[in-house]
Amino acid sequence: MNQKYFGTDGIRGRVGEVPMTPDFVLKLGWAIGRVLADGRPDRVLIGKDTRISGYMFESALEAGLSAAGVNVLLLGPMPTPGIAYLTRTFRAAAGIVISASHNPYYDNGVKIFSGDGFKLPDAIEQAVEAMLEEPLQTVDSARLGKAERVDDAAGRYIEFCKSTIPAGTVLKGLKLVVDCANGATYHVAPAVFEELGARVVRIGAEPDGLNINRERGATAPKALRAAVIEQEADVGVAIDGDGDRLIMVDHHGEVIDGDELLYIIAKARHEDGTLVGGVVGTQMTNLGLEHALAGMGIPFRRAPVGDRYVLEVLRELQWELGGEPSGHIICLDRTTTGDAIVSALQVLHVLVSRGISLHEARGDLHKYPQILINVQTSEPRKVAALPEVKAAVREAEAELDGRGRVLLRASGTEPLVRVMVEGPDGPKARGCATRLAERVETAAMQRSGGSPASV
């Protein structure tokens, strides 16, 4: 992709710095209205997570869309997948999410769904960027868009989530700890599980605009592990700030990541004869999952890192199940994007329908040690492409001698080069990853002429 502003997951940045400034976001709203509504008085939905800056950007987008002659439906705090769902049900031209996902409160971003509930293809993102270069022209006053709030948005989405598991399924007898990361699911996720009969202990469900993802949620499961053990709960559910990532914790306090959750769902569907095709993972997917699926005769394909690329491969192959270790799980027969609540329900249905614990459900999956190191740099793409960095990767691969994998990639959402080494020999993988990260750090330092980056 050659977009100037759009990355792998929409537009994202530090609040107050381009592109996340009020004036830019206002014009972005206008450009979205011009491209996706094409001058028609269509409706566009706007939802947000719980960041304090969401109020500011919501108003800016509303103004820009109105200037383009587009009507606006305001959803308030709502999970990203909830906005995708409501975009479809309202037959809207687009759905806009104001969120920086798992990032801290001082970041924010804009993600866009087209009318079918899928993330925008590259061609449409490029058209929006091209429109941003045009002068903003407000439609005639009589054609300005109007705005109204959707008061029952949360209730609509709660009912949808419950509909994604078989009718009659109840979670009665299960005690869950649900960590909402003080994010967009704080008022939705606990209600879904409670209405299905579970006893729910809530943590990370008191957002104040500044505490989203802070030591809570799918990217920080330590608090959930402690709460599960303290509460003697059956399962812990951790969701990230915008509601599209899921990590779970079993009754022993062990973290169950996206690879393991994908395995649980795939295995159950395979046994039930409902798995369509195979499973799509990414370059980060553990070799252990690939081998376990192969042992059951389930096809597996890798996509580039990013849930949008998992989705692209799923649609290309006409398969239905894919995901990432980070907890993006896509069940295309249920919804159009990664959905933490829906994914959790698929796993919980497996547990109650088979009468097993979460620990038992993932018990025969054996993952290889996977060492991940982040190298900070202001130019991750350029550093990852340096000849000396590529040479270091080849040396690391030679060191593993075919018994493992090396992956080095520039983050699409943060100023980082991510180094991953995986293999059956944990100490060897760690040493290899450490040496490779040091080489990348040195190359980044030499390129910038500054002090060493932190690893």
Buried b (16+ CB within 10 A) or exposed e, 68-94: bbbbbbbbbbbbbbbbbbbbbebebbb
Within 13 Å, how many C-alpha atoms sit on residue 98's CB side? 32
Pairing outcome for strands 246-249 and 255-256: antiparallel
Active-site residue, from 53, 66, 99, 101: 101
Rounded-to-integer distance, Cα 445 and Cα 452, Å: 5
Rounded-to-integer distance, Cα 260 and Cα 277, Å: 19
Angle between the N-to-C axes of helices 387-400 and 426-448, in degrees from 0 to 180, rounded to the nearest 10: 170
Rounded-to-integer distance, Cα 435 and Cα 438, Å: 5
Give the DSSP per-residue string, 151-209.
Answer: TTHHHHHHHHHHTTS-TT---TT-EEEEE-TTSTTTTTHHHHHHHTT-EEEEES----S
DSSP helix/strand/coil, 273: coil
Enter the tokens of residue 297.
Answer: 């005769």
| 274 burial type by CB count under 10 A (0-12 exposed, 13-18 middle, 19+ buried) | exposed
Whether 101 is catalytic is: yes
Rounded-to-integer distance, Cα 5 and Cα 65, Å: 19
Catalytic center residues: 101
